[in-house]
Amino acid sequence: MAHGDPSNPKKNPHPVKRYEVIATADAPGPWDSVSGTVFFDIVNVDCVPQGSFTGGRNIPNASHEFEMARTGEKTWKGHFHRDLLLDEDYFGKGVCHWDATGMGPVFVAHGATFSPTRGLKQAMQAGSYTEYFKKSAYKDHSFTGMGALEFLPDSPEVARHPEDFFPITVTIKEIGP
């Protein structure tokens, strides 16, 4: 028997898979706000019906913002629960299992966002990662409402002109219940 709404999943009343995110941003000025976002997907797609015409599946997903508290001049710390969402049978095809599949801090300055987001599996394997953002995007007020482009450390542009960029380094680890 199907129940629940996959576009508005219920929260797990007893989440235990807790992850800590530490972000260090060496920006050319202060931030208006800093938070974090975790992205969830249903990971067992067989619980979602196939479309009769295309045979594709419209896999539900969700996101959740989490608090990032300042812990130093350039450092913020936050946490999220990987098992935040309650698994349910939404379509009468078995219980759908949610899992966190991506995450990242969200830094905002002058209305522009600087968000070094990664897949959770990739971030956990690395333990820590750094992405670069243009200093000009931080200072340019025309980026309001937009996300600044991120550059990887091995980007040719970063290698050629490192003085034009600032890093945001993210560390993630499972800290348990």
**Residues 52-64 pLDDT 10s:** 888 888 899 999 9
Confidence category of residue 22, pLDDT binned at 50, 70, 90: very high
pLDDT above 90: percentage of residues in the chain: 75
pLDDT computed for residue 3 by the predictor: 75
With the CA atoms of 132, 136, 138 and 143 taken in that order, what torsion angle do they form, in degrees rounded to the nearest 10?
-110
pTM exceeds 0.75: yes
> CA angle, 166 as apex, 79 and 30 as ends, to 5°?
65
Tell me, what's the pLDDT at 144? Answer: 62
The predicted-structure confidence for 27-80, as pLDDT tens digits, reads as follows 999 999 999 999 999 999 999 999 888 888 889 999 999 999 999 999 999 999
Tokens of 111: 């209305």
Q: In the beta sheet, which residues pair with residue 24?
A: 75, 169
Q: With 70 as the cut, is the pLDDT of residue 1 above it?
A: no
pLDDT of residue 91: 92
Q: What is the pLDDT of residues 135-152, one digit of tens each?
A: 988 887 666 666 788 888
Distance between first and last Cα of the chain: 32
Token pair 């992850």 is found at 19
What is the mean predicted confidence (pLDDT) over 89-117? 93
Instruction: Return the pLDDT at 4.
Output: 82
Tell how far CA 46 is from the center of its chain.
25
pLDDT of residue 2: 62
Q: Does residue 168 carry a pLDDT above 90?
A: yes
Centre a 10 Å sphere on the Cβ of residue 90 and count the other Cβ atoms it contains. Answer: 21
Mean pLDDT of the chain: 91
Query: Does the pLDDT of residue 17 top 90, yes or no?
Result: yes
Residue 140: the pLDDT is 76
